[in-house]
Amino acid sequence: MLSVLALTSVVLLGIASQTTAIVVYTSWERHALVGTDVRLSCSFFSWKWTSPDVTFSWHYRSDGARDSIAIFHYTGGVPYVDNKGPFRDRLEFVGNPSRRDGSILIKNVDIADNGTFTCDAKNPPDIAGSPSNVRLLVFENVPVQAGVITGAIIGVVLGLLILIVAIYYLMRFLVARRVFSLSMSKHGKKGKGKEGSQQKQALAVTDPAKLKAAASEKKKQESRREKK
Amino acid sequence: MLVLLAAIFLLHIACICLLLAATIHNAWWMSNTMSTDIWSRWMLNGGTWNYTEIPDHYPKEYLQAVQASSVLACIFCILGLFVFVAQLYTLPKGKRFLFTGAFQLLAWLCIMIAASIYTDIFHKDKEQGWYGASFILAWISVCLTFISCITYFILRKKTA
């Protein structure tokens, strides 16, 4: 059974390596602030081993232009960086072709760098595939995402409200317990007949509000007894 | 006594309705072809109303502050209604509806913040248009929630 499975997987792999093309991966979109450096990553998936003749090439199409220009090419183990176009002296190759990484670094981006970058990788003999695009969006200042501040304000205010209500009820509960324990210890020391019924009354009370009322009632009874 | 209770209850429900209308209906600022704020903009294009986003030149932080405070005002007012009904049954006789009054006070504060920020920050340049229904309802709710809050602070539960 296991040998049948192994055989089928090998056959399928063999078929697949002949039918699937090279797949190039880049990010979908990159956001950057004016003046920062942006790393555009490019990688590929191929069934064949990474060849020493692997090539990477980057093209750039500005946000208003119709054609794309070539800005980077890596071939024969040597990276060739654009030294005439809009990215001269700003482009650097930071990839590792033996690890299938063809990333480039654009330094000091500007608003004019808004556009679409296309990465095309070829891994001979696996050359059939389509290139991948990444959009670069450059901002003057970071835009506020819709609804972040709204959600934050609502969350904080409601959280504070719940906290205050919880603390209020906790304080009431603690104060009532303290009153209850004080009255219990007082009556325990005196130990008279009437205290039996009063203690039963105290034990029956559980609600803190009624506890306060009961405590005040006990005080009234004590004052009446003192008057007698 | 029952009439008074019904009137106060109706006032509270009216506050809730006005607050919800002001928050949800996008009509704080209107013109002949546009009905806008605080969530999105309705543009009249050739006979049909289209739902579009608020343009980028709006001060975003202030807009989100107005959104947050008007939503909070609705929440506090609705919570206040439930607290009022609860206090009707649990409050000892002769006591004031302070908890409900506190919620209405918070609601009044929030909608006043929202209406004030909107009045002072948005549409300061002489644009075409006029203040819409939601804006007017927001300011009316400021008055009504204040009246409701004072009522709850003064009202005492009927003594036996």
| Domains of chain B with bracketed CATH | 1-29+60-157 (1.20.140.150)
Per the structure block, which two tokens stand in for B158? Answer: 């009927």
pLDDT recorded at residue A194: 53
User: B33 in helix, strand or coil?
Assistant: coil
- When scoring A142, A148, A150, A217 by the number of chain B Cβ atoms within 10 A, the one with the most, hence best to mutate, is A150
Interface test with B, best of A142, A144, A153, A217 (most B CBs within 10 A): A153
Q: Where residue A190 falls among pLDDT bands split at 50, 70, 90?
A: low
Report residue A65 CA to chain centroid gap.
Answer: 35
Q: Would the ipTM clear 0.85, i.e. be above it?
A: no
A20: pLDDT confidence band, cut at 50, 70 and 90? low
Q: Do B65 and A149 touch (CB under 8 A)?
A: yes
The domain A19-139 is placed in CATH, from the list 3.30.70.20, 3.30.465.10, 3.40.630.30, 2.60.40.10, at: 2.60.40.10
The strand pairing partners of B42, in sequence order, are B35, B51
% of chain B beyond a pLDDT of 70: 99
Chain B segment 7-66 residues within 8 A of A by beta carbon are 60-61, 64-65
Rounded CA Rg of chain B:
18
pLDDT tens profile A93-142: 988 888 888 889 999 898 888 999 999 998 888 888 889 999 998 888 77
> What distance in Å separates the CA atoms of residue A122 and residue B30, rounded to the nearest whole number?
57
* Neighbouring C-beta atoms of residue A169, cutoff 10 Å: 11
Cis peptide before B55 (omega within 30 of 0): no
Q: A14, exposed or middle or buried, with CB in 10 Å at 0-12, 13-18, 19+?
A: exposed
> Is A158 touching B (CB cutoff 8 A)?
yes
Q: What is the pLDDT of residues B20-74, one digit of tens each?
A: 999 999 999 999 888 988 899 999 988 888 888 888 888 888 999 999 999 999 9
Distance CA B132, CA B44 (A): 15
What is the C-alpha end-to-end distance of chain A, expressed in Å? 101
Average pLDDT value for residue range A42-71: 89
**Band of residue A88 on the pLDDT scale cut at 50, 70, 90:** confident
DSSP one-letter string for B55-122:
PTTS-HHHHHHHHHHHHHHHHHHHHHHHHHHHHHHHSPTT-B-HHHHHHHHHHHHHHHHHHHHHHHHT
Q: Does A165 touch chain B (CB under 8 A)?
A: no
Confidence (pLDDT) at A201? 52
- pLDDT tier, A16 (very low <50, low <70, confident <90, very high otherwise): low
In percent, how much of chain A has pLDDT > 90? Answer: 22
pTM over 0.80: no
Cα–Cα dist B64/B123, whole Å: 16
